Structure 1
Amino acid sequence: MKKSKFSVALKTSLIPCCTVMFALFTLFILPAHGQDNGKKIVVNFDARYFDTTQRKADFLTYKGFKAMKISKSPGRQTIPVGLKGITFQDGTIEFDAIPPSDNYNDGIAINFHQKDPFNFETVYLRLEPDETSQRDDAIQYTPYIHGVNLWDMMKPFRGYATIHNKEWNHIKLVISGLQMMVYVNDFKKPALKVSRLEGNDPTGGISFDGEAYFANLVIKPGATEQLSPLEGPDWTDNDPSYMRKWMVTAPKTLEKGRELTAEDLPSEATPWQPIDAERRGLINLIRRFKGELTSYPKERRYVWLKTTIRSLKQQHVGMQLGFNKEVYVFLNKRLIYIDKNSAEERLQKYPGGLLDIGNTEFDLPLKEGDNEVLIGIAAKNYGWGIMARIKSLDYLFIQR
């Protein structure tokens, strides 16, 4: 799977309407700059209305439209160009975008609910030199949390989209509470349905990213097109086999080239705190533990996760485990499984290094009574977490 540089998250409250506030009110109501007719906001791409202090952009006329051309990022970390003076919650965002004629390998991104440069939600298009290439990751939704792009933990939120390299692409986001629909060059069928937005903030700024041209930005506050603001169903809710209740240690640094061993197991004095699974059974460690505010940290971190399985008899049971990036599984203090899974490396699990419950499977040799499961999980770049499931609950109990 092609990785993108666009490749920081849980809503804590649900506010039923859109809030749009203007620090520079005349920015949008003067005919020379934009228009607000009470139903939509038409934003002209003018240098006065965008924050280019950290990321340079040119403002020009391109292919018949007044546009913004974002320059190459000075580093690997995402640095978006923000729209000044606006806070967005619910409604529609529409715009046109086209890649430059000399670069079909970058991406096109629209960010929303942006709290700061490190925490926002994004939809981006992955470009290919051959625009006819059929691929299941052409469009991606993901949150950025504490500067980390969680794209490799968001497998359900990617899909196919028709993307033009030499023509304007029209993109439309419909955001309502916890749900979103995304349309790309086809307004009868959404290219992406997001049943649960995964960002931390339900409201925030709007910004753009990618070495591309952007034009014709229209914002319609509150225009949610009857999309429900409630989160959609989670297909794992009906499955009691997911291991959702864990305890977790504080993060520690794992030196380069070193792996966890029995000597690194928590001691009796190690403090623990509870952590519960999110949707899809995901234990999201990035959400819990703030790091270096970047998707490209210098240090590899690890924690220990602990839970108990009570078995009514001695038996072997299968355990499915989705993870990124390194796991060390101990059962009753005995190492039983080690593995790696990273989209950036050759050691990839299906599908393409993304975290998925189908990443791997192994046996747990359970004794009668309580069995302690300890999982060391280490990561450096992008997502960091696990999802675990017991294949059969016959004669055993897991914590819920």
Structure 2
Amino acid sequence: MNISGLFKKMTIAVAIGTWSLTAVAQNVSIDLSKLVLNQSVRAVNREVSMVENGAKGSYIHLNEKPGAGVAWLEGVKFTNGTIEFDVKGRNVLQKSFVGIAFHGSNDSTYDAVYFRPFNFKSPEEERRNHSVQYISLPGFDWPKLRSQFPLKYEQPVNPAPEPEDWVHCRLVVENEEVSIYVNQNLKPSLVVKQLGNQKGDKIGFWVGNQSDGNFANINIK
């Protein structure tokens, strides 16, 4: 059964035990600190740490390493609906790629949407045009998409956020269409049709090659 905005059985481990939540067309906020405390965040090619009392309250930090990395939120399932979260990268050229992976089947098969904050306010139009990106792995990574479909799967963000500010992302997945809204903008920064026919339901925070990243306040509908 595929119902928009449905966690079929979202199981979250908490300090006093384990509880299950089935939500239909409801907003569900994920307590990231409890997920980390109970080892319900599984990192791939990264280490995960929890930062307390930051600008966004408690948030997750993924460290910098070569290659892409994902922090899967174990027990949290998503197919269609809306994911909202806050993300913070850095203004360092080619060393800040931050976003979210979804429709994951395994550690190398998933869709992802991510930002290149160092391009947000670049004086070069070509770099600004590469500010937000959609990919579908393993078949459609960014080099292939940029080469074969220029500016179809990546776009600028207008108005452009400050490169080192927290950015609020609203990702809407409906009828095989992916739309990305940034901060309070009513117009999406990027709208694409899904590629790769991904059928998985795993989600996780994503960082690219040589990138770290901070993530907070994830809410799923």
Report TM bin, short chain. Answer: 0.7 to 0.9
CA contact (8 A) 1:145 1:200 kept: no
What does residue range 1-400 of structure 1 map to in structure 2 within 5 Å? 15=2, 17-22=4-9, 24-25=11-12, 27=14, 39-46=26-33, 47=36, 48=38, 49-52=40-43, 54-61=45-52, 62-73=54-65, 75-76=66-67, 78-100=68-90, 105-128=95-118, 131-133=121-123, 134=125, 135-145=128-138, 149-153=141-145, 154-155=149-150, 156-161=152-157, 162-194=160-192, 196-210=193-207, 211-220=212-221
TM-score normalised according to structure 1 size:
0.45
TM-score normalised according to structure 2 size:
0.77
Larger Rg belongs to: 1
Aligned length: 199
Q: CA–CA distance in 2 between the matches of 1:187 and 1:36?
A: 30
CA contact (8 A) 1:142 1:151 kept: no
Q: CA–CA distance in 2 between the matches of 1:130 and 1:157?
A: 16
How has the CA–CA distance of structure 1 residues 137 and 177 changed in structure 2, closer, same or farther, with 3 Å as cutoff?
A: same
How has the CA–CA distance of structure 1 residues 130 and 187 changed in structure 2, closer, same or farther, with 3 Å as cutoff?
A: closer
Q: CA–CA distance in 2 between the matches of 1:36 and 1:21?
A: 6
Instruction: After superposition, give the CA deviation of every residue in 1:87-143 in whole Å (9 maximum; x if it has no partner).
Output: 211110000111257788311121100000111001111121773544211111110
Q: Which runs of 5+ in 1 are unaligned?
A: 1-13, 221-400
How has the CA–CA distance of structure 1 residues 53 and 166 changed in structure 2, closer, same or farther, with 3 Å as cutoff?
A: closer
Higher relative contact order (CA 8 A, sep 6+): 2
Q: CA RMSD in A?
A: 3.0
How has the CA–CA distance of structure 1 residues 140 and 68 changed in structure 2, closer, same or farther, with 3 Å as cutoff?
A: same
Instruction: After superposition, give the CA deviation of every residue in 1:242-268 in whole Å (9 maximum; x if it has no partner).
Output: xxxxxxxxxxxxxxxxxxxxxxxxxxx
CA contact (8 A) 1:111 1:123 kept: yes
Letter in 2 for 1:182: I
Q: Which runs of 5+ in 2 are unaligned?
A: none
Q: CA–CA distance in 2 between the matches of 1:150 and 1:207?
A: 19
Q: CA–CA distance in 2 between the matches of 1:50 and 1:208?
A: 10
Identity of aligned residues (%): 20
